[in-house]
Amino acid sequence: DAEITQSPRHKITETGRQVTLACHQTWNHNNMFWYRQDLGHGLRLIHYSYGVQDTNKGEVSDGYSVSRSNTEDLPLTLESAASSQTSVYFCASSRQLQETQYFGPGTRLLVL
Amino acid sequence: GENVEQHPSTLSVQEGDSAVIKCTYSDSASNYFPWYKQELGKRPQLIIDIRSNVGEKKDQRIAVTLNKTAKHFSLHITETQPEDSAVYFCAASRSSTGANSKLTFGKGITLSVRP
């Protein structure tokens, strides 16, 4: 069955380190998104991509980057991890815009 | 940009009663309004959505209504059950193309259904 996966599911890192969170989907969706979820803030968009080689900044993109070299993957990189980036990160994908976004299981990141 | 607000932040209902969760949005050009449900420790999942060309949509025990004039939309759950306990997120977007297609989410409402 087609699915969307994230790895790792849990990560502990230290401030200043570079961290990459993986997102992989097998639906062949063009649209992929990264959100962070924090208590009291809901889901906030970090970066998104509408296809290979396309990336765009969301509302909370500072300190994060993404790259889209193929349809299936959208890795999220924290260039220099900060304690403020401790959060739960969700990747999502959709076939068409303004259609269902399918979320991955999430990655819980702790920056010490 | 779009601003989506949800009120109240928490809601508790007795099992079998109805629950209504309301969202307001700021951008009058928004035309797509989905609702996502997130159970504890799980990923968000779409439960229903509505587009601006209709005023109401139903799917079994859940329904969504849209008031474009007042810029608000509501999720209605009838005959609530314990498994309806979750965080519910509303969202809005204004276009099916380009940067304006991205969803802006509300902060979520925690619904608790008391057995």
- Interface residues from chain B to A (CB-CB < 8 Å): 1, 31-32, 34, 43-46, 49, 51, 89, 93, 95-97, 99, 101-108
Q: What is the pLDDT of residue B102?
A: 87
Q: What is the pLDDT of residue A59?
A: 92
Asked whether the beta carbons of residue A104 and residue B103 sit closer than 8 angstroms, the reply is no
Asked whether the beta carbons of residue B1 and residue A41 sit closer than 8 angstroms, the reply is no
User: Per-residue pLDDT averaged across A44-56, rounded?
Assistant: 96
Measure in Å the smallest separation between the Cα of B17 and chain A Cα atoms.
26
Among the ranges given (A42-46, A106-110, B6-10, B106-110), the one the predictor scored with the smallest mean pLDDT: B6-10
Transcribe B24-87 into DSSP letters. Answer: EES-TT--EEEEEEE-TTS--EEEEEEETT-SEEEETTEEEEEETTTTEEEEEE-S--GGG-EE
Quote the mean pLDDT of chain A: 96
Q: What is the pLDDT of residue B65?
A: 97
Q: Is the pLDDT of residue B34 over 80?
A: yes
Q: What is the pLDDT of residue A40?
A: 84
Residue pair A93/A33 in contact by the 8 Å Cβ criterion: yes
Confidence band of A30 (pLDDT split at 50, 70, 90): very high
Asked whether the beta carbons of residue A103 and residue B105 sit closer than 8 angstroms, the reply is no
The residue of chain A with its CA nearest to that of B40 is: A105
Q: Is the pLDDT of residue A2 over 90?
A: no
Closest CB from A40, A42, A48 relative to B89: A42
User: What percentage of chain B reaches a pLDDT higher than 90?
Assistant: 84
